[in-house]
Amino acid sequence: MTEPACTEAAGRNRFSTEFRLRKTDEYSSVFAFRRAFRGRYFTLHYRPADGSSARLGLIVAKKLARRAVQRNLLKRLAREAFRLRRASLPNIDLIVRLTATPRHASRRELRDDIEQLLGRLGR
C-alpha cells in the first residue's frame, strides 16, 4: 500500500523541524536578546533569526499546568497559531512561554492571547 501524496500547499503549512527551536543554545540566544511581549497567559520572547524563516520554541512548565493533557493542549494551540501565521512573520526566533496558570481560561481566550502576541510581531 502506498502513502497518500502530500500536496505542495499542505507541505508548506506543516510544522516541520526546520521551523522549531531545538537546542539549548538556540533557546539561550533568544532569552539573551531580552525582547519580549507579555500577554495575559503567555510571554513571547523573540530575536532576529539567521535562517530563512521564523522558528518556534515552547515552554510550558508543570508548575503552571499540572496535567500533561493541559500542557499538550497549550503547546498545540501555540503551534497551530504559529503555523497559520508563519508566512507573514519576519525571520525571527520565537519562544512562547506560559507565565500564568490558565485555570478557568477557555481555549478561545488562550488562542486569542497567543494570536495577539504574534500579531504584535508583524508591526
Domains of the chain by range and CATH? 17-121 (3.30.230.10)
Alpha carbon 85 to chain centroid, angstroms: 10
Average pLDDT over residues 94-113: 96
Q: What is the pLDDT of residue 52?
A: 81
Q: Per-residue pLDDT tens for 48-93?
A: 988 788 999 999 999 999 999 999 999 999 999 999 999 899 999 9
pTM: 0.85
Q: Tell me the HSE value of 99 on the side-chain side, using a 13 A CA sphere.
A: 15
Q: Tell me the HSE value of 111 on the side-chain side, using a 13 A CA sphere.
A: 11
Cβ neighbours for 90, distance < 8 A, ≥ 6 positions apart? 48, 54, 121, 122
Q: Per-residue pLDDT tens for 10-49?
A: 555 666 788 999 999 999 999 999 999 999 999 999 999 8
Three-state DSSP state, 22: coil
Cβ neighbours for 100, distance < 8 A, ≥ 6 positions apart? 40, 41, 64
